[in-house]
Amino acid sequence: MKTALLALAALLLAATTARAADESARDPTAWPPALRSAMAAASAASAASAVEPSDNAIRQVVFVNGHAYVVQRGRRFGIGELLDGARIERITEQAVWLREAGQVRREPLYGGVEKRLPAPPSKAAAGIKKSKEKP
């Protein structure tokens, strides 16, 4: 009976030591494994659904002496020229319009960003009185 108790105590001591070694080896700043795998799955899903810009995406427009040009592969393309099989119809600061197969499509330079006029001042801001100095 004494040897059984000693064997049980040794077994408990070994299990406790192994568990303590596992916990001390774990990085306290690392995410838990369940959260790490969930984040990896979410980033893989977002990467699969993201639209990657192609090598032919328009990235730069320059204005020289009042004329707009698209810069692609180190060359300037003006209005009316062919760019990857599409004719350039219009060039602005925000987008380029291309005609291809009878259809005109707008290619934005900065996806999701649009230039807008500032909002007019509100009536509340216009009614604020400025303080006057006392004589």
- 2-39 confidence digits (pLDDT tens): 676 666 666 666 666 655 555 557 788 887 887 788 78
Predicted confidence band of residue 46 (pLDDT cuts 50, 70, 90): low
Percentage of the residues of the chain whose pLDDT score is greater than 70: 64
Contact between 88 and 80 (Cβ < 8 Å): yes
Max Cα-Cα span within the chain: 104
What's the pTM value of the predicted model, to 2 decimals?
0.46
For residue 20, give the 3-state DSSP assignment: helix
Encode pLDDT of 112-132 as tens digits: 777 788 888 776 655 666 667
Q: What is the mean pLDDT of residues 39-53?
A: 66
Please give the radius of gyration of the chain, using alpha carbons only, rounded to the nearest integer: 33
Burial of 91 from C-beta contacts in 10 A (0-12 / 13-18 / 19+): buried
* 50 pLDDT more than 60: no
